[in-house]
Amino acid sequence: MGLPLAGVVVLDFSQFLAGPVAALRLADLGARVVKVERPVTGEIGRTLAFAGRWADEDTVSFHAMNRNKEAVVADLKDPGELELVRGLVARADVLIHNFRPGVMERLGLDYESVRALNPGLVYAAASGYGADGPWADRPGQDLLAQSVSALAWVGGGDRPVTVGLSLADHLMSCHLAEGVTALLVRKLRTGRGGLIETSLLEGMLDLQFERLTACLNPPATDPPPPDLVLPSALYATADGHLAIAPTRPKTLFRALRAPAGMEVGGVEQVGRWVAERLAVGRTADWVEMLGAAGVDCVPLRTLDEVIGSAEFAAVGMTQVVEREPAEPGGEPLRLTTTRSPIRIDGQVLRAGRSAPRLGAQGRLRDGADPLAADPPIAQ
């Protein structure tokens, strides 16, 4: 089917996670994404292995983040090859990078320099802590962004706890892709490109907009009486754990057959009683009983339990991607990974091509021209 970004050409100079995943999101929507990598080693994500897993000389995480892309090799420190890269930039629709501040400026590939080459270029730059300020020159990293933004205190109670995933990177990839898409719409209307910038820190602060808004504004001098609601919480059961969404105590009391007088207790007292009550029953029984009473709850699952669940099967979140064999007659690599989480016109977005080998479309100095037949979408 015709995907929304079909015909859009993206040059992906980014590395490891946030930038490559932003480009991946554009590829899932139909854009043609060409990775531009250094010779010999390629981008760092090819060798940084999540959980120590490798496949066909690249890390499994690299395959997951760079499926459905192409790849060319260019030495940006070589003046001749850099000039060839500038030729690609002049014909592309989008450029994405997450180099440390100052790198693209030294190469002459910063936004101010390249928009003279290509006024219609949409230029996406990602950083750790923003383009200005005392930490502008520091490299970004997910754990550090979670920590310096105070996110680590959200769920830890009296001790900090970070999310065990690259939350800041993944959020920034969404913000980058959102900004690129918005500027592509403007480009189609006006022919003008633009600059989208964001950072790990800004994404982590945006994630906490409720908490920040409460902290940044003085409390009301005469607030209304609080409406007692139990916050979201995890509870231990006799055979596992249960997650309950924010709930009015009276709804839980009715479902759990609370003794008379419990309704006058505070949040802590009610929470303790609920925890004690749930600890003596099985998770599946509680899910059925509480759900019938109008309490939103689900079992707390391990990743293996998720993969084996009916809900996982129903949403069809996996796809098989394939990489051609390195040698003629060899076996292709087939990997099962996730798909795009969105649907377009009711259709699930899947692409069967795995991440490219380093320089799959050649090296620029050897005459490779991946954009020979791809003019920009708006002149």
Q: Where are the beta strands (DSSP E) in 231-294?
A: 233-236, 241-244
Q: How many CB atoms lie within 10 A of CB 295?
A: 20
- Torsion region of 240: left, alpha or beta (phi above 0 gives left; psi -120 to 50 gives alpha): left
Structure tokens, 97 = 């990078």
Burial of 369 (0-12, 13-18, 19+ CB in 10 A): middle
10 Å CB burial of residue 240 (0-12, 13-18, 19+) is middle
d(CA 235, CA 290): 13
Of 132, 206, 181, 193, the C-alpha closest to 22 is 181
Query: Where are the alpha helices (H) located in 279-371, listed in sequence order?
Result: 283-292, 303-307, 310-315
Q: What is d(CA 69, CA 35) in angstroms, rounded to the nearest whole number?
A: 7
Strands 32-37 and 70-73: parallel
Largest distance between two CA atoms of the chain: 82
Q: What span, in angstroms and rounded, lies between the C-alpha atoms of 169 and 172?
A: 5
Instruction: Collapse the DSSP code of 202 into the 3-class scheme (helix H, G, I; strand E, B; otherwise coil) and give the result.
Output: helix
**In the block, which residue shows the tokens 């040698």?**
327
What is the set of active-site residues? Answer: 169
Structure tokens at 59: 């890390």
